[in-house]
Amino acid sequence: MSASPPVALTIAGSDSGGGAGLQADLRTFTACGVHGCVAVTAVTVQNSVGVTAVVEIPPSTVADQVRAVADDIGVAAVKTGMLASAAIIRAVAQVCDEVGIGRCRAVALVVDPVAASMHGDPLLAEDALAMLRSELLPRATLVTPNLDEVRLLVGLDIGSPAEQREAARALHALGPRWVLVKGGHLRGDSPCLDLLYDGSELTAFTSPRLATPHTHGSGDTLAAAITSALARGTTVPQAVGYGKRYVEQAVAHAYPLGAGVGPVSPFWRLRPETEPIRCGGKVHKPP
């Protein structure tokens, strides 16, 4: 028997292409040394080209999954991804209060405010944004929007680091303990700049801009790596530093898949493809 690892829970949608959503979260949790549990919010029908259908899970079933995990297994940190609808967001906010998840509680809540896929397919109903703003952000330990999500949440169109700082302040005013404004979508050749803000101090995290079209699941992977570090007991700034380093490698090891956008590789550090498989007297060499 081994010692139990820390436990992280993702409240997220399924990506049938396996590159983003709960699939990316679970792989990242595993690679970052935590046991991953899941509360599924929606099933998306998608591949590398786009999303063709979304089926939502009933809000009470989403909450029941969280309750079942929290009551028996216990969780050290929680992440939200695609939440699909206003009713699911309300149910998640309520169950977080009930089982002690969130910014003023023992268990950290990382909110990745997923609103659309990278192809622009909507992953959040329009009326759900208001619910995200009013019910979930005030409960978040950390919220991790990209620039598109910043525009949707606080109406700011960001074109410069100065505007990124303004956005961090505007988002913080909505109630999360910490805000990480991801600048990866800012145009130009400059390094990617992410800004972390706690209401008084701004900390800049820079990383090189890597030339790959295959970035599907990068936001999920970053937030899941941050959540893993929090589950393992780090502070928020330490977790963000860890997550940034982790996702940088995941993007560097991204691979093509299907005809469209391929995924980042959350298991870059494990590299199981380099291990031969030995069975039945045969050795299946790595590719």
44 touches ligand PXL by CB under 6 A: yes
Residue of 16, 3, 35, 91 whose CA lies nearest to 224 = 35
CA–CA separation, 16 and 90 (whole Å): 25
Strands (E), 116-160: 142-143
The nearest distance, CB 195 to ligand PXL, in angstroms, is: 20
Nearer to ligand PXL, 22 or 232 (CB): 22
With b for 16 or more beta-carbon neighbours within 10 A and e for fewer, the 47-64 pattern comes to bbebbeebebbebeebbe
Residue of 70, 69, 5 whose CA lies nearest to 35 = 5
CA–CA separation, 13 and 26 (whole Å): 12
Q: How far apart are the first and last CA of the chain?
A: 33
Interface residue with ligand PXL among 183, 217, 260, 266 (CB under 6 A) is 217
CA–CA separation, 16 and 153 (whole Å): 27
266 touches ligand PXL by CB under 6 A: no
The nearest distance, CB 36 to ligand PXL, in angstroms, is: 15
Residue 111, token pair as written in the block? 């909110």
CA–CA separation, 122 and 80 (whole Å): 16
The nearest distance, CB 62 to ligand PXL, in angstroms, is: 14
Nearer to ligand PXL, 102 or 113 (CB): 113
Nearer to ligand PXL, 51 or 239 (CB): 51
114 touches ligand PXL by CB under 6 A: yes
| Contact yes or no for 147/183 (Cβ under 8 A) | yes
Interface residue with ligand PXL among 10, 11, 15, 59 (CB under 6 A) is 15
Nearer to ligand PXL, 23 or 164 (CB): 23
The nearest distance, CB 157 to ligand PXL, in angstroms, is: 21
Nearer to ligand PXL, 26 or 123 (CB): 123
Site string for ligand PXL, 72-111 (x = CB under 6 A): ---------xx-----------------------------
Query: Residue numbers of the site for ligand PXL (CB under 6 A)?
Result: 12-13, 15, 20-21, 44, 46, 81-82, 114, 117, 123, 217, 219-220
